[in-house]
Structure 1
């Protein structure tokens, strides 16, 4: 019988926590938790730098970070599991069911081992890359889709022999020469032990900040404020 009251009890607790947070925010003090999600290759925002500035102004907020794929981040924001998320999508897609602010657009670059035959090239194209063995994000994810769509649009097939969920491990497979990869140009310089090459007909992606369409807790509003993102900036989809 007691289990039947759990949902109502949780709602009451959530409402009480929101009320406390709103009262604190009204007097200029934010006291609550903030859940932030991000893709492994986020590059448009210096997340540690923003968190440092945020904590300087709001030292009582406890922050949790969750790394995931873009599609998962959108769903977690919709569900209320995350307050704010940073993600990347192909230029043909937009976050659905959430409020979104476009942060930046970027092109992908080829990432190869230092001793790879292409390492000395200043630029390549997708046709030349199509004969290589690739490591990429799992099929069906937004991080993978931008490359899949580009090769398909060019009428090219490629061999994705390795699928991994984190960009740093992509670099760990590229470095020894197991495969090549396509990664955002703004993110690739963070990687060591690999060489990046411009791709003439490279796929592109858009990075977004997203949050719930149904309002934001004070901590989320304050966090986005560090990035100069306000409610008026949102574009609902």
Structure 2
């Protein structure tokens, strides 16, 4: 079994179309089909069920899929290790982040890294914390900024640094709490909230905070983008609890929440061994502190 055959299998899996997969890998459809048939003969079973209308993985194909992804990731890491010998004249850096990251100027960091290492391909992924963590563990991301909650990180994930952000309440202008300056969560029982969709990093932290304080929130809207949340709060559809840097960026009235103030933790994580491009990025990060 050759690595290129595994890559061809993954291309068909990703697109569920031999035509689109062939375009992706730069082969004719007949050549791609021949490669897949050769792989099936070698493995002793059909990997795809084919019809004139659709392509789908067989049970054997489903079994091969995680192993195939692991093989391709291992091959990628081997290539990156070789690239390190030539002082990062090539290679890849994949960084993930939650969308509410504000304590780090990630675009500026990546721009500085690109100036120092113009040959490295940079990929930036924005996703919920759980998905980013899975991608770090799978080797698809080299580094990721996560919103930590009470859940322990897996033992194969290394925390590089942590940053603590104060959580504050934001309201619409003219809201009864817009000039309060400081409130306690008990004052918010009757307030509708704008919140993130369940499972996103900030939503999990805020949910745990309210549970500890015995606040049963009424959620008026759930959103998936911070700009949407800020706009809905600004139009009076509810209040929200967000990191202070995000609140300052939104320009809405801010009230502090208790003493001591509640916080959330942003963690930069990786999965050893750290690839050369990621090590260079971490060095760039250290110089900016």
- Common fold by TM > 0.5: yes
Which secondary structure state, in structure 1, belongs to the residue aligned with residue 219 of structure 2?
strand
Distance 1:36 1:175 in 2: 32
Indicate yes or no: 2:141 matched with 1:105: no
Q: Compared with structure 1, are the counterparts of its residues 112 and 29 closer, same or farther at alpha carbon in structure 2 (3 Å cutoff)?
A: same
Equivalent in the alignment of 1:233: none
Q: What CA distance in whole angstroms lies between the structure 2 residues aligned with 1:12 and 1:148?
A: 39
Greater RCO structure (CA 8 Å; 6+ sep)? 1
Distance 1:160 1:31, change over 3 A: same
**Conserved in 2, the CA contact under 8 Å of 1:137 and 1:143?**
yes
Pick closer, same or farther for the CA change 1:168–1:127 going to 2, 3 Å: same
Which position in structure 1 is the counterpart of 2:257? 199
Separation of aligned partners in 2, 1:47 and 1:2? 45
Instruction: Find the counterpart in structure 1 of residue 13 from structure 2.
Output: none
Q: CA RMSD in A?
A: 2.5
Residues 47-126 of structure 1 aligned to structure 2 (within 5 Å): 47-90=106-149, 92-96=150-154, 97-126=156-185
User: How many angstroms does 1:17 deviate by?
Assistant: 4.8
Match of 2:279 in 1: 221
TM-score by length of 2: 0.70
- Asked if the contact 1:34/1:219 (under 8 Å) is kept, the reply is yes
Residue 135 of structure 2 aligns to a residue in which SS?
Answer: helix
Q: CA–CA distance in 2 between the matches of 1:199 and 1:11?
A: 45
Aligned length: 226
| Aligned-pair CA distance for 1:19 | 4.4
Match runs of 1:162-173 below 5 Å: 162-173=221-232
Whether the 8 Å contact between 1:135 and 1:173 is mirrored in structure 2 is yes
Offset from partner CA, 1:92-140 (integer Å, 9 cap, x none): 3343241112321122100111121211111111011222100111223
Matched residue, 1:2: 38
Question: Relative to structure 1, is the Cα distance of residues 124 and 31 closer, same or farther in structure 2, using a 3 angstrom cutoff?
Answer: same
* Bigger radius of gyration: 2
Q: Is the 8 A contact 2:146 2:201 kept in 1?
A: no
For 1:131-210, list aligned pairs within 5 A: 131-192=190-251, 194-200=252-258, 202-210=261-269
Displacement of 1:25: 2.0
Change in 2 beyond 3 A, CA 1:20/1:110: same
- Provide closer, same or farther for how the CA distance between residues 120 and 219 of structure 1 changes in structure 2, counting only shifts above 3 A: same
The answer to whether the 8 A contact 1:110-1:196 is kept is yes
Where 1:186 maps in the other structure, the secondary structure is helix
Number of the residue aligned with 2:47: none
- As a proportion of its length, which structure holds more helix? 2
SS of equivalent to 2:283: helix
Q: Flag structure 1 segments of 5+ consecutive residues without an equivalent.
A: 230-237
| 1:75/1:161 CA distance change after superposition, 3 Å | same
> TM-score normalized by structure 1?
0.85
